[in-house]
Amino acid sequence: MHITRNRPDSLPGPARNFTGTVWLDEIADPGAPSRLVVMNVHFAPGARTAWHRHPHGQVLHVTEGQGLVRRRGGPAETVRSGDTVWIEPGEWHWHGAAPRSFMTHLAVVEAADDGTTIDWAAPVGDDEYPA
Ligand code: MN
């Protein structure tokens, strides 16, 4: 058993993978044989991930604010504090804050055999983000 009382530093979301201001707090990344990775992700209004997918899918649990999630071929959908989203393995998608609201979610994934948790693609430009 291990109790974390001193949190790791918050890390800024890298500009190649995120649009706008995003901060990442690691909650759990215990390593093998566990595949679990849990992050707490804070999005400023208008901030969002690039398009991406997860090899074993992802659970998003919104803990604060209002946000948007979109899967390829679908509309951008509003999510609010208390909502939980399941993203299928390999499903291309993005998630982020609503245009005028902060949003925080827990993000839960399982790593692939090679340690990969995310496969990144193109940024979500202003032309495909609902104003
Ligand atoms: Mn995702």
Predicted local distance difference test score (pLDDT) of residue 73: 95
pLDDT of residue 42: 98
* Structure token pair of residue 46: 């208008």
Count of Cβ atoms closer than 10 Å to residue 93 Cβ = 19
Tell me the β-bridge partners of 41: 24, 105
pLDDT tens, residue order, the chain (131 aa) = 999 999 999 999 999 999 999 999 999 999 999 999 999 999 999 999 999 999 999 999 999 999 999 999 999 999 999 999 999 999 999 999 999 999 999 999 999 999 999 999 999 999 999 98
CATH number for the domain whose boundaries are 23-117: 2.60.120.10
Instruction: Please give the angle made by the CA atoms of 40, 8 and 27, to the nearest 5 degrees.
Output: 35
Measured in Å, residue 55 CA sits from the centre of ligand 1 at 10
Distance 57 CA to ligand 1 centre (A): 8
Find the 45 Cα to ligand 1 centroid distance in Å: 18
Domain positions in the chain:
23-117
Residue 7 to residues 4, 25, 87, 88: CA-CA distances in angstroms?
7, 8, 27, 30
Cα(5) to centroid of ligand 1, in Å? Answer: 27
- What does the pLDDT read at residue 131? 81
Tokens encoding 27: 């909650």
